[in-house]
Structure 1
Amino acid sequence: MFLSLVLLGLCICFIILHLTPRRPKNFPPGPPVLPILGNILHLNLKNPLEDFEKLRKSYGNVYSLFLGPRPSVVINGVKAMKEAMRPGKTVPRFTAQSGGKRFCTLCNIVLEHRRKSAVLQMFLQWKQLTDCDVLCSCTMLFCAIVSNISFTGKTLTPQIMFHNVASNIMCQVVFGTRYEYDDEFITTIVQSAIEITKAANGPWTTLYSSFPWIRKLPLPFNKSFKAVKRCSDLVLQSLNEHKKTRVPGEPRDFLDSEDSTFSEDKLIFTAIDLMIAGTDTTSNTLLTAFLYLINHPHIQERCQQEIDRVLEGKDQVCFDDRHQMPYVQAVIHEVQRIANTVPLSVFHCTTKDTELAGYSIPKGTRIIQNLTTVLKEEGQWKYPHEFNPGNFLNDQGEFVKPDAFMPFSAGPRVCLGEGLARMELFLIMVTLLRKFKFIWPEDTGEPDYTPVFGITMTPKPYPMKVQHRL
């Protein structure tokens, strides 16, 4: 009996040791690892950013974690980030899985096609989405504001409003069409995007990614697959309509793009990626912008003074006007810094055995960019922990962009949507501020600036009042 217990104990110890992940030789340091779970228990899955910061203080700017059995290296700070993201060091690799079927996201397609395919060429030609196209969507937004509040001083919540305008702009890129906001197509797209990002922003995402064996279980994350299915059905419907009128060699939008190596499934799922990513990031940045502007009326007023001066006599703003608006430019960039919309960027992986900060990192290691540490790094910013446009202005009041400004990541794999996002934010914010004054309701109490953590950071719902300036 005693011998049996000893053997059982030895077997259990052997299994535990076998299931406990081990750090490779000269691998970045990190907290102790548990069998199977890795370092999951070291993180608050609802918002791990504070835990990441504690680990940074303990183990340095480059440290390792095991999310389940798989090793990850977390990169913090401007210096380590620039070294890691330089050409040839790492590449994006971010795959999703739905119903057991793996599909590539836009980042994978960029890697496969080296930015040469007709599909990517179509999407990367941002200038095809002209200032007037964006402004048309903005005009729809104004109509929504008018119909909702009738300029009577009523309080409104802007969440759906900003989701709608950002989604409509992406519809122009992907489908070549803008929709009325009561149209079933766009309402389904917006609602599905909200459901998908809500699921993706929850703790189940980390568990789902870390433990592949739970993916077929009936867990809360699976609800997002129904939303993906609704989106894919709509995209397929639009794609079939495009096929009837498509002219070879004359693409009108993303769905018209042709490439013999680009399957229909990839086209559909990439279109969904673009719609969700382009809608969620832009709308959340706009929500952050107006949350701060209505609670910093002196900053809002100074923006409006500069806008009035530069646009005097003009019917509408154009993107080139940004060069004459240094303060507005500073405010928009400060909003992006403080919003920290994608705090952990898109996960990358090493393409070969490499070295970083003196550590050895094997091929295939997941790389997590903690952009929060860059956008708020002391020594890189004049006011790292407060909302202040002075972070982007020199002593002469000219707009400057510090090296630590990396809301779109860094290196050759920087976010493909940066150009479009910059244009959207400038044109939408300037047009809105030119026409309206935004006010924090007096009976609302103090604003809560704490965002809801997720793949994208989302401001908590808040109310605002709108007054016509003209």
Structure 2
Amino acid sequence: MGPALMNVDLNSVVLALVLGLIFLVLFEILRIHVSRGRTPPGRRPFPFVGTLPYFIKDPMGSARSIHHYGEMATEYLGRQPVIILNTVQITKEALVQEASTFSGRPTLPLIDWITNGLGIIMVTFGHSWRQQKKFALNTLRHFGLGRKSVEERVLEESSYLVAEMLKAEGMAFDPQHAVQNAVSNIICSIVFGDRFEYDNKHFAYLLNILNENFMLTGSPVGQMLNLVPFIKHFPGPHQKILQNSSELMAFIRKKVKEHRQTLDPENPRDFIDAYLLEIEKQKIHEDSTFHDENMVMSTSDLFLAGTNTTTTTIRWGLIFLTENTEVQERCHEEIVQVLGYDRQPSMDDRDKLPYTYAAVHEIQRCANIVPFGVVHATTQPTKLRGYDIPKGTMIMTNLTAIFSDKKHWKSPDTFNPENFLDENGHFYKPEAFIAFSVGPRVCLGETLARTELFLYIVSLLQRIHFSWPLNSQRPDMDGILGAVRFPHPFKITCRSRDAKD
């Protein structure tokens, strides 16, 4: 009787589990049906995982197709609805006209795991964000952001970058490290008070793990942790994200320790010095958010944001300029006509270089490095175009749709600087160009990025001709979608230009 009863009990347990699973699936299907009736239209989500399978299968194809559902659409990150804004008009209505309501950040387990709710970029909209952003902006400006001093740093670094690239003249080489080191050196000089040589192996390693984390956080590995947060307690590829973050934090903490030991309160050298002084200054205020861990995370945010996005844009730029030789040659001719071969460019030259300046913007449009912008969240219940949107709803801007909207672009589907030129050949910026977002959470480093993009690209085109190596395979233009959209690894060939050309 014992084995028979045990068999009956086992069968009952299995039956109960099967019935329970069926009930959960049916309940989830019903919940999805009810949810879809309350939200803007969009693709039918799968139970529990939402529309993530579509993105995993074809990220950029998915991004390009969402606008067919109208100016607003709904995707699902697991069980959570995500409202997608597909036009520039509704984006500005939400992020500018209703800024306080749409400027939050969602609670994402992966981000919280890495940041502990600290820093600037992904911290929720509130007191800490306001304090940290205001301090960061004021400090960056104090150390040259938007002034000639930063411009001079970029120009000095551009001469090192040109020389570094021409070391491989005539040979096929991957420009990623040289470009990333050059870009990173600018934010490093502001934040750490130092730059790093291109052959510094430790810094090269840090840049590599930085790239790896940008890849992993937007990959299926990162999204799985957002769906099933408890897996952070178990081994797996997701642990590499925390390991890389910890190494970057250790590098910053070491820099903070060095700064604390050599700090001169009368002569702050950089962002870290200024932050150390602000911690002391704010100790008398109970609501201060200035402390060591926030300093480390805010420094990390500036370092990461000031390195990866501009680097990725320039790498895409090299692809577009190499692929479109007529654009590259026209830019070079304009640059040489205005600057010659020896005078370095300045930001004051933008009006004199309208075609080149347009090409720089066209690189940003076509690179589209953050196809859905940085995710926002509603800070309170609201309405948008007749839809009720609960507090905490994730909001994304479909820059892929906005940057290819036929209403705003002459050549929406091709690389063409004419998109940024009027009928008289003068530069103009269409309303739909919102590469740095809009509203209170506009990119903190916009001014620095604009300076770097223009001066680096002009300096490179002035001195170097770029071409594809013989018999090379062109990179897949969809790229790799992580936290940003990276180009696939590629190699190019450099040839020095001079007056004899």
TM-score, L = length of structure 1? 0.90
Unaligned runs of 5+ in 1: none
Name the structure 2 match of 1:76: 86
The one-letter amino acid paired with 1:209 is N
1:215 matches 2:232: yes
Unaligned runs of 5+ in 2: 1-7, 283-288
Further displaced range: 104-113 or 362-371: 104-113
The offset of 1:238, in angstroms, is: 0.7
The one-letter amino acid paired with 1:102 is N
Counterpart among 56, 65, 70 of residue 45 in structure 1: 56
Identity %: 34
Quickly say closer, same or farther: Cα 1:99–1:201, change in 2 above 3 A.
closer
The within-5 A match list for 1:124-273 is 125=142, 126-127=145-146, 129-147=149-167, 149=168, 151=169, 153-248=170-265, 250-256=267-273, 257=275, 258-259=278-279, 260=282, 261-273=289-301
Alignment root-mean-square deviation, CA: 2.7
Quick one: distance in 2 between partners of 1:423 and 1:278?
12
Quick one: distance in 1 between partners of 2:171 and 2:50?
51
Matched residues, number: 463
The within-5 A match list for 1:221-370 is 221-248=238-265, 250-256=267-273, 257=275, 258-259=278-279, 260=282, 261-312=289-340, 315-370=343-398
* Matched-pair contact (CA < 8 Å) for 1:355–1:361: yes
Further displaced range: 395-404 or 153-162: 153-162
The offset of 1:297, in angstroms, is: 1.7
* Matched-pair contact (CA < 8 Å) for 1:56–1:76: yes
The offset of 1:200, in angstroms, is: 2.1
The offset of 1:221, in angstroms, is: 2.1
The offset of 1:68, in angstroms, is: 1.6
The one-letter amino acid paired with 1:154 is M
The one-letter amino acid paired with 1:156 is F
Name the structure 1 match of 2:120: 106
* Matched-pair contact (CA < 8 Å) for 1:28–1:360: no
Further displaced range: 60-69 or 400-409: 60-69
The offset of 1:12, in angstroms, is: 4.7
Further displaced range: 164-173 or 182-191: 182-191
The one-letter amino acid paired with 1:76 is N
Higher helix share: 2
The one-letter amino acid paired with 2:292 is E
Further displaced range: 397-406 or 188-197: 188-197
Q: Secondary structure at the residue paired with 1:267?
A: helix
Quickly say closer, same or farther: Cα 1:8–1:412, change in 2 above 3 A.
closer
Name the structure 2 match of 1:378: 406
Quickly say closer, same or farther: Cα 1:300–1:221, change in 2 above 3 A.
same
The offset of 1:175, in angstroms, is: 0.6
Quick one: distance in 2 between partners of 1:9 and 1:201?
34
Q: Secondary structure at the residue paired with 1:80?
A: helix
Name the structure 1 match of 2:24: 15
- Looking at CA atoms only, which structure, 1 or 2, has the larger radius of gyration? 2
The offset of 1:401, in angstroms, is: 0.4
Counterpart among 487, 495, 498 of residue 459 in structure 1: 487
The one-letter amino acid paired with 2:90 is A
Deviations 1:265-300 (A, max 9, x none): 122122222222221111111111111112222211
Quick one: distance in 2 between partners of 1:249 and 1:69?
53
The offset of 1:14, in angstroms, is: 4.5
Q: Secondary structure at the residue paired with 1:45?
A: helix
The one-letter amino acid paired with 2:442 is V
Q: Secondary structure at the residue paired with 1:169?
A: helix
Quickly say closer, same or farther: Cα 1:50–1:24, change in 2 above 3 A.
closer
The one-letter amino acid paired with 2:62 is D
TM-score, L = length of structure 2? 0.85
Quick one: distance in 2 between partners of 1:298 and 1:33?
45
Quickly say closer, same or farther: Cα 1:23–1:396, change in 2 above 3 A.
same
The offset of 1:328, in angstroms, is: 0.8
Quickly say closer, same or farther: Cα 1:92–1:428, change in 2 above 3 A.
farther
